[in-house]
Structure 1
Amino acid sequence: MVNTLKAFKIRNDEVKELNLLLCGQIGAGKSSIINTINSILEGQISVGYQGNLESSVSQTLKFHKRQVGNAKDGFLPLVLNDTMGLEIDQSKGVHTDDIITALKGHTKNGYTFDPKTPIDENSPHYRENPSLSDRMHCLVYVIPADKISIMEDKVFKKMKKVRDAAYRMDLPHVILMTKVDETCTLTNKNLRHVYNSKKIKDKMLECQSALGVKMNCIFPVKNYHEECDINENVNCLMLHAFTRIVRWADDYVDKYSNN
C-alpha cells in the first residue's frame, strides 16, 4: 500500500494535488493523522506537527496545507488540509461557514480562523474564482471512538451542516474513527482484532447514525502518539483507509475534470 501511494498519479493532468480536508472536534486527532501518515511513508515516527496535549482549545488556528511526504524522499501529489477544531459553543472553534468555504476552494493557505466571523470576499485570503485544483476533493471527518457517545448534539449539528454542503457538491466524505485502542480492551491488546470487535462495530454504527455516512466509508484507525517505533498494525489500518480516500478523491477530480 505504501508503494501504491508513492507511485500514485492523478488522472487529471490539470490538477497537481488532491486536497483532502480534515474536520472534527477538538482533540479528535486531526493533526496526529498527518503525523501518522508521514510516519508511515518515512518509515520512522514523525512529530512534524505538535500541539499542547493538555489544552482544551484548538491548537490549529490557521488553515494549513500539509504536504504528504518529505523533501528528502519527495512529496506525493496529496495535501491534507488541517482546520481549527469544532466546539460546542457557537462563539468558539471553527465556524462551519469557514469549512464550507474551504470545501469550495475559496480559502487560501494561511487564513486565520475567527470563530465569530467567517471569511468573506473582502479578506486577502479569499479566492474569488476557485478552479477544480483549488477545491477540496474529499471531506474527512475525524471522530474519536472513545468520545462519540458523549459528544454534544451541537457538535454533530455543525458536522451535519458541513455534511449537507458536501452532499450538494457531490463530494466524497468519509470518517476516520480514531482512538480505537482506547475504546476496546480486545483492540487495545491487539489491533488485528479491530474488525472482530463488537464494541468497535457499535461505535462505527454510532458514527453512521450520527452523520449518515456509509459503513464502508467509516474506518477505525489508531494514530501514533506515544510510540517510538513504527508498528505494522497501526500502519495497515491507516493505509487501508488512506488509499481508499485517495482513490475516491481522484474519482471526484476525474468526474468533474470538464466542469
Structure 2
Amino acid sequence: MGGSQSTQETDFEYAKAWRDTPWGEKGHLEKTLKDFGLCDPNIKHARILVVGEIGAGKSSFINSVNSVFQGRITNEALVNKTTDTSRTFTKLYKTYYIRNGQSLMPFVLTDTMGIESENLHGIHQEDIVKAMEGCIKERYKFNPESPITPQDNSYRSNPSLQDQTYCLVFVIAADKISMAADDNIYKKVKHIKSKADELEIPQVMILTRPDEACPLVKQNIRKVYTSKKIKEKLEECSAHTGISVSHIFPVKCYHEEIDTQDDMDVLILRAFKHIVHMANDALRLKCNEKENSE
C-alpha cells in the first residue's frame, strides 16, 4: 500500500520543490513590505495595474492582498458571486489603497474591466494602454465598443508620475489555461504586453486557482511548488504570453474562507513583494528620465 502511494506521488509530484518558498516566514515577509519605501519620497504611491480574463480573479487578488495586511478577510473590490462568469463584472477603473493599520502603504492596485475573447466585449485593449500611461481618471466607465479619447471627460491629458503604471499584473486562472496557441485571449495579452514593453513597464502574472488545477495542491497548498501540473501550467503561460516563468506566481486567493491562513498569505506576500520591487525599479527609471530631461 505504501509502495503504490509512493509511485503515485512520483508521477504527479517532484521529490524536491522547483521553487524555494519561505513557509513559516509570513511575519518577515509582511514586515519587509510594511517597511518598504519608494525610491522617490515625493511620490505617495506606485500604481500597479491589474488586468486579466473575466472570472480569473482580478478583484479577488486585490482583496486577498488587502486581507493579508489587514489580518482579516476584506471585500473592498466587489467580486461576482454568481455562477455566471460569461461577462465581466468589473466595469469601472478603480483604485484600491493598501492599508497598514490606519496608514496607507506606498503602492496602490487598480482594477479594470475583464478581457474577453470576443471583440466588442470586455475591456478594449487600447484602454489598458491609456491606463498604463496614466491617461484614465478614477471611476471611468469602460466602453467595450470604443476606447477612451482625449475628448472624453475622464481623459487625463498630462498624467503625472503618480498617475502612471509601474507594474502590469496579468491574472489568469490555472484551471482554465488553454493549450490553443491561437486563442484570442492570448493574442490580446501579447498585444498588451508588447505595449507595456514599449512603455518600459514590467509585467507579472498571477496564476489563480492552483488548487482547482491540481488535486495535490487542493489537498495541501504547500504542494504548489512540488506539483508537476502547476509547473506545466506556468510553462504553458510563459510560452503563450512571453512572460518569463520567473515572473509567474501561483496564488490561491481568498474566496470561501472566513479567516486568513498563513500558507495562503505567504504565497500572496511572496508574489506581491516581487511586484512591488519591480514597480519601484520602474519608478526609479522614470524619475531618472524626468530628472535628466529637465
Name the TM tier (shorter chain).
Answer: over 0.9
The structure with more radius of gyration:
2
Q: Which residue of structure 2 aligns with residue 84 of structure 1? A: 113
Q: Which of 24, 33, 37 is equivalent to 1:5? A: 33
Q: How does 1:17-56 map to 2 (within 5 A)?
A: 17-54=45-82, 55=84, 56=86
RMSD of aligned residue pairs (Cα, Å): 1.3
Q: Give the superposition deviation at 1:150.
A: 6.2
2:163 corresponding residue in structure 1: 134
1:62-120 CA-to-partner distances (Å, cap 9, x unmatched) read 100111127x5221111101000011111110000000110011111111000001000
Partner of 2:286: 256
> For 2:200 and 2:62, how far apart are their aligned partners in 1?
25
1:135-150 map, 5 Å: 135-149=164-178
Q: Within 5 Å, which residues of 2 pair with 1:156-171? A: 156-171=186-201
- Greater alpha carbon shift after TM alignment, 233-242 vs 7-16: 7-16
For 1:50 and 1:64, how far apart are their aligned partners in 2? 11
Given residue 29 of structure 1, which amino acid in structure 2 is its aligned partner?
A: G
Q: CA deviation at 1:131?
A: 2.2
**CA deviation after TM superposition for structure 1 residue 170, in Å:** 1.4
Unaligned runs of 5+ in 1: none
Aligned residues: 258
Counterpart of 1:21, as a letter, is L
Contact kept? 1:14, 1:133, Cα under 8 Å:
no
SS at match of 2:106: strand
Taking only the aligned residue pairs, the percentage that are identical comes to 41
Determine the structure 1 residue equivalent to 2:219.
189
Matched, 1:120 2:149: yes
What is the identity, as a one-letter code, of the residue corresponding to 1:77? P
Q: Secondary structure at the match of 2:178?
A: helix
Q: Deviations over 1:176-219 (max 9, x none)?
A: 00000111011111111111000000000011001111111000
Quote the offset at 1:228 in angstroms.
1.1
Distance 1:100 1:14 in 2: 25
Equivalent of 1:58 in 47, 69, 88: 88
Superposition pairs for residues 222-237 of structure 1, below 5 Å?
222-237=252-267
Higher mean Cα deviation, 29-38 or 72-81? 72-81
Q: Partner of 1:125: helix, strand, or coil?
A: coil
**SS at 1:19 equivalent:** strand
Q: Secondary structure at the match of 1:207?
A: helix
2: CA distance between counterparts of 1:16 and 1:118? 28
* 1:105–1:136 Cα contact (<8 Å) kept: yes
- The equivalences for 1:172-251 within 5 A come to 172-251=202-281
Shift of 1:232: 0.7
Corresponding letter in the other structure for 1:251: D
CA distance in 2, matches of 1:168, 1:253: 15
Q: Secondary structure of 2:165's match?
A: coil
The ranges of structure 1 where at least 4 consecutive aligned residues each deviate by more than 6 angstroms after the TM superposition are none
CA contact (8 A) 2:48 2:167 kept: yes
User: Does the 8 A contact of 2:171 with 2:207 survive in 1?
Assistant: yes
Q: Could you state the TM-score of these two structures normalised by the residue count of structure 1?
A: 0.96
- 3-state SS of 2:128 partner: helix
Report deviation, 1:124: 1.1
Shift of 1:7: 1.3
Normalising by structure 2, we get a TM-score of: 0.85
Q: State whether residues 131 and 164 of structure 2, in contact with CA within 8 Å, keep that contact through their aligned partners in structure 1.
A: yes
